[in-house]
Structure 1
Amino acid sequence: MTLNWQCIVVDAADPRTLAPWWADLLGWRVTYDTKEEVVLEPAEGSPQDGVSPDILFIKVPEGKSVKNRLHIDLRPDDQAAEVARAESLGATRVDVGQDEKATWVVMADPAGNEFCILRAYTPEELASM
């Protein structure tokens, strides 16, 4: 028996508002769009196309009320630039108890869902991959 990872599901009061925000942040595309569900996939032809799981935003009646039990970590080429870009799109920095020496930045999307922007890999780390 095998399992394949299809998607990450994000509960959203308004999928049609939140999904395009994430599409802008990630440079992904909307591949399915109804009032109840919106699906994002990597840009067609990108290295992630057909590899990264989709992100499915589904409509739920309630808003977010507690810290996420699961969140997305994003690895940038330039952490400071991507944090600034995320903030310009409407993300906010949040404190979930991370140490001030943390090498990642915890942020929240406009609906309050936490995600992290990690430090960039060093040239040595990239060379060993």
Structure 2
Amino acid sequence: MRGGPKLARMACRITELILDCADPQRMGDFWCEVLGYVELGWDGDDLEIGPPGACFGGPQPTLILSRGTDPKPAKLPLHLDVNPTDRDQDAELERLLAAGARPADVGQTGEESWHVLADPEGNVFCLLRRRVDPVSG
């Protein structure tokens, strides 16, 4: 922030993240596995997933997988970072690869402390090193 840190009054917060995809069910299955989320429901062709017991406006944003057929840009202007909660980074990397993630090259040097991965439809996300506590309701 310019001029140093300031106490900010929160006016908005992220409640949902929307990801256009060709196959909402496949993507929902993948991201539920990655994040420990569950299916919350369908609205037409859109699948909403989130933490078990989540509802709109909960402490963590939900993810809406919206069926779309428009071509995707080569690199999305936004990506997700995830951190392990109950294991180290190497064990979490193995779990994510087994769930369907694959390594992605976005020009990294190989010296980074994170892993760049892609979900089943090629959307890039990063697995960071630091272990964090799971968020509770």
Q: TM-score range by the shorter chain?
A: 0.7 to 0.9
Match of 1:68 in 2: 76
Deviations 1:12-36 (A, max 9, x none): 0111221111101111111012451
Would you say the 8 A contact 1:64–1:112 is kept in 2?
A: no
Q: Which residue of 17, 23, 27 corresponds with 1:14?
A: 23
8 Å CA contact 1:37–1:58 kept in 2: the answer is yes
More helix by share: 1
Partner of 2:49: 40
Question: Of 11, 19, 28, which aligns to 2:37?
Answer: 28
Q: Structure 1 residue aligned with 2:96, among 82, 86, 90?
A: 86
Paired amino acid for 1:26: L
Give the whole-Å Cα distance in 1 for the aligned partners of 2:13 and 2:110. 37
SS across alignment from 1:98: coil
RMSD: 2.3
Alpha-carbon distance change, 85 to 52 in structure 1, aligned in 2, over 3 angstroms: same
Match of residue 99 from structure 1: 109
The code of the aligned residue for 1:84 comes to E
- Deviations for 1:42-71, whole angstroms, at most 9, x for unmatched residues? 1238xxx92111111101113534112101
Q: Tell me the alpha carbon deviations over residues 92-123 of structure 1, each in whole angstroms, 9 at most, x when there is no partner.
A: 0011011211000000011001110000249x
Verify the 8 A CA contact 2:79 2:125 in the aligned structure 1.
Answer: yes
2:125 pairs, out of 100, 105, 115, with 115
> Aligned partner of 2:49: which letter?
L
Q: Out of 16-25 and 32-41, give the one that drifted further.
A: 32-41
